[in-house]
Amino acid sequence: MADGYSEWVVDRQLVPGMFQAFVDQLEPELRGRADAQILDVASASGEPAASLAAALPLATVHATDLTPRFVQLGAARAQRLGLRNMRCQVADAERLEPFADASCDAVCCCMGLMFIPNVAAALAAFDRVLKPGGALVITVAQPPEVQPFWTFLSELSEEMCPAAGAAPAEAPYPAEFGPCRFGDPQPLLDAAAAAGLSSIACRPMLLDYQMAAGEWWTSLTQMPDAPVAAALQRLQASGSGANAAEQARQLAERRLRERGWLQPDGSVCCPGNGAWLITARKGSQ
Ligand SMILES: C[S@@+](CC[C@H](N)C(=O)[O-])C[C@H]1O[C@@H](n2cnc3c(N)ncnc32)[C@H](O)[C@@H]1O
């Protein structure tokens, strides 16, 4: 799971605007600050940490995740990208034990809070490690009806393998911790206020999902949690013939073309996927 996510979502930048949003928020404020400490929580294999480390070479960016394999992959990625100002370590968002009180100028968490059981504890930990006036930047997904990419994958899977493809064989998350848990962001905003954060703001973003020419089918079938892989496996297990995978790829190509997502150069761009960008500050009491 970690390796597939790292390759197809992080390394190949499935949603490039997602990580850039963090740079846009923090770069103007932290540019030129040699002592700036940025903490990226639930960073998987290092995003938006790596984008921030590249944009703010004088800052130190700490990429953290609960899953040791992701942290390993993040460290390898930082080395590959030559990002000497990026450090990677295991940390639970609910405690952030390796980080001292008031030690961070900024905390970020991209598409992570939906999967963290005790969000109140995580927000309290963010508040604890932030310096007075420090910035918090969070993204979470909007509701399923504003996720055309994932709707497409469900519909394609169902068409490939009726009644089997719409959902993965095993649901990847308990329903209450699913990707759209904060489709209504109000409970998250209330929890941020309860944790003592101030200047809380929430605005919508629409993101493009992008896949390179010659890679999109591999991406769709190897990306963790995407229902296409499960549908394809069931199709092949049911003995639907050696050509099942190629027929499924051709079907996917037709459906992508019909939606106008297949670009003239063979790449895929699916626009209009909703996220919430939430910003806040540690009150300088
Ligand atoms: C969808 S990924 C987001 C990763 C990355 N920020 C990105 O945008 O690509 C969610 C991440 O949350 C991490 N995670 C889940 N629970 C966590 C916790 N309690 N503390 C820290 N990370 C956690 C998972 O290991 C996973 O890497």
What residue ranges define each of the domains in the chain, with the CATH number in brackets?
1-143+180-207+274-285 (3.40.50.150), 144-176+213-266 (no CATH)
8 lines ligand 1 (CB under 6 A): no
Ligand 1 atom, smallest distance to 117 CA: 19
E strands within the chain?
37-40, 60-65, 86-90, 104-110, 130-141, 197-211, 268-282
| Res. 168 pLDDT band, cuts 50 70 90 | very low
Pairing of strands 104-110, 37-40: parallel
| Res. 176 pLDDT band, cuts 50 70 90 | low
Residues sharing a CB contact under 8 Å with residue 12, sequence separation 6 or more, in sequence order? 211, 212, 215, 219
Res 161 pLDDT > 90: no
- Alpha-carbon distances of 153 from 19, 119, 149, 157, 237, rounded to whole Å: 23, 29, 6, 6, 20
Residue nearest (by alpha carbon) to ligand 1 atom 13: 42
Average pLDDT over residues 126-133: 98
Residue nearest (by alpha carbon) to ligand 1 atom 5: 43
Phi, psi of 265 (to 5 degrees): -85, 5
Cβ 205 vs Cβ 274: under 8 Å = yes
How far away, in angstroms, is 114 Cα from ligand 1 center? 9
Separation of alpha carbons 126 and 112, rounded Å: 13
* Segment (H or E) for 232: helix 227-237
pLDDT for 165 equals 43
Average pLDDT over residues 143-167: 82
Res 182 pLDDT > 60: yes
Which is nearest to 140 in space by CA: 177, 108, 179, 94?
A: 179
pLDDT for 242 equals 66
How far away, in angstroms, is 127 Cα from ligand 1 center? 18
210 lines ligand 1 (CB under 6 A): no
Quote the distance between the C-alpha of residue 141 and its chain's center.
9
